[in-house]
């Protein structure tokens, strides 16, 4: 059984306290908290920014390197999905359209 360093236990306990206090901070107060209008507007874009931060690198890079050819199924799927979204809207249709383009190019042509 490994030995526990007292400093490690202290750090774990301190991090637990900080986590509980920061997450429970809004429950401690008796009055309602309101965000400033600029913060509310900024939070409206957070899901879009997070999605872009995940999807864009996956589309334009392969194994950490920028793709160097146009013969990549991800590019065509991204263009098709984007086109669907601006034409008809809706997340489900965007995903289905992108995958309908991606899978044949990837499986049949090996892109």
pLDDT digits (tens, 9 = 90+) for 59-108: 889 888 888 888 889 999 999 999 999 999 888 999 999 999 999 999 99
**Backbone dihedral angles phi then psi of residue 62, each to the nearest 5 degrees:** -135, 120
- Residue 1 scores a pLDDT above 60: no
* pLDDT tens readout for residues 10-50: 999 999 999 998 888 777 777 787 889 999 998 888 888 88
Secondary structure class of 111 (helix, strand, coil): coil
Distance CA 102, CA 89 (A): 19
In terms of C-beta distances under 8 Å and separation of at least 24 residues, what long-range contacts does 63-68 make, across chains too? none
> What is residue 38's predicted lDDT score, i.e. its pLDDT?
93
Q: Taking the alpha carbons of 10, 15, 18, 21 in that order, is the dihedral positive or negative?
A: negative
* Cα(35)–Cα(2) distance, integer angstroms: 47
Domain ranges of the chain: 6-109
For the chain, the maximum distance between any two Cα atoms, rounded to a whole number of angstroms, is: 62
List the Cα angle 60/51/39 in 5-degree steps: 135
């Amino acid at each position: 059984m490994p030995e526990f360093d007292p400093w490690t236990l202290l750090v774990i306990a301190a991090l637990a306290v900080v986590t509980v206090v920061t997450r429970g901070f809004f429950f401690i107060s008796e009055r309602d908290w309101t965000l400033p209008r600029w913060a509310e507007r900024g939070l409206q874009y957070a899901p879009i920014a997070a999605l872009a931060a995940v999807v864009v690198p996956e589309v334009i890079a392969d194994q950490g390197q920028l793709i160097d050819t146009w013969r990549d199924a991800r590019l065509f799927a991204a263009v098709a999905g984007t086109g669907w979204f601006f034409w008809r809207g809706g997340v489900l249709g965007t995903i289905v359209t992108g995958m309908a383009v991606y899978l044949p190019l990837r499986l049949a042509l090996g892109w």
